[in-house]
Structure 1
Amino acid sequence: MAYKYEGVATDLKHRMTWKEWSVGEQLPGVHELAAHYDVSPSVVKDAQEVLRMEGLIETRRGSGSFVVAIPEAGDMTLGMHRQLEAIRDDLAAAREAVVRAERRLSALTDLA
Structure 2
Amino acid sequence: GDVLEQEYGTATGKLFLIGFFATSFTSLIGVWHGVSLMFADFLARLRGEREARGDELASGRRERSWAFRAYLLWLTFPPIVLLFQDEPFRLIIIYGVLGAAFMPFLALTLM
Higher Rg: 1
Q: Which has the higher contact order (CA 8 A, sep 6+)?
A: 1
The structure where strand makes up a greater share of residues is 1
> Quick check: TM above 0.5?
no
Give the TM bin, normalised by the shorter chain.
0.3 to 0.5
TM-score by length of structure 2 reads 0.35
